[in-house]
């Protein structure tokens, strides 16, 4: 009942839990998307919590069905269906079309994530140039150049996928537009 009360309020808690529903939420993390898809067998948190509540109410009334259940026959029919989890990927997404979970547009956390990706890609390019220069210095037996290239500090760079999976797991966004079907890619899970 606590969760259903929070859902009914349609707000974001002080701890950052988003109980607003009715919109489309996206995450850059494949792992997070899979967790949401598998963890919400009815396709949404709201329907999954409705299912849990209806099951709890049905079992608490010792097998008798409350009369108000009849008012929700369409919902109860949906809750009897067996779903199959799937991922929906949005292609060609624009940052201006999304807000973070507290409504900030453009999402500041997405900007930071994109900046980290750009910085990591720039570091990867610098390391490739340094590697080529080191190979050339080794071929020319230029010990001074070799020493300067080896002594230069390097930073660890990550792939885009590594950055998204490590930093993007708790970064979710609300779509502020209707996403065109042509932008969607579907993938069944398991």
pLDDT for residue 102 = 67
- What pLDDT, in 10s, does the model give residues 132-157? 999 999 999 999 998 988 887 777 77
Nearest to 170 by CA among 5, 14, 62, 18: 18
pLDDT for residue 91 = 92
Per-residue pLDDT, averaged over 113-131, amounts to 89
176 in Cβ contact with 76 (< 8 Å): no
pLDDT for residue 186 = 93
User: Which range, of 12-16, 117-121, 141-145, 180-184, averages the lowest pLDDT?
Assistant: 12-16
Q: How many CB atoms lie within 10 A of CB 33?
A: 22
pLDDT for residue 11 = 65
Q: Can you give the pTM of this predicted structure?
A: 0.65
Task: State how far the Cα of 182 lies from the Cα of 188, in Å rounded to an integer.
Answer: 18
The structural domains of the chain, with segments of one domain joined by +, span 1-97+178-190, 108-170
List 90's β-bridge partners, or say none: 184
């Amino acid at each position: 009942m606590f969760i259903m009360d929070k859902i009914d309020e349609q707000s974001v808690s002080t701890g950052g839990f988003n109980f607003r529903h009715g919109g489309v939420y996206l995450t850059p993390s494949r792992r997070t998307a899979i967790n949401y898809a598998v963890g919400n067998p009815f396709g949404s948190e709201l329907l999954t919590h409705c299912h849990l509540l209806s099951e709890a109410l049905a079992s608490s009334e010792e097998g008798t069905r409350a009369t108000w259940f009849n008012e929700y026959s369409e919902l109860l029919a949906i809750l009897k269906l067996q779903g199959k989890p799937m991922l929906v990927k949005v292609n060609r997404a624009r940052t201006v079309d999304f807000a973070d979970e507290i409504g900030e547009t453009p999402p500041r956390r997405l900007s930071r994530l994109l900046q980290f990706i750009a910085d990591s890609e720039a570091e990867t390019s610098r390391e490739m140039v340094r590697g080529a220069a080191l190979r050339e210095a080794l071929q020319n037996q230029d010990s001074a150049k070799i020493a300067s290239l080896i002594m230069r500090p390097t930073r660890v760079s990550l792939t885009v996928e590594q950055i998204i999976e490590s930093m993007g797991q708790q970064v979710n966004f609300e779509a502020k537009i209707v996403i065109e079907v042509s932008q969607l890619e579907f993938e069944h899970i398991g």
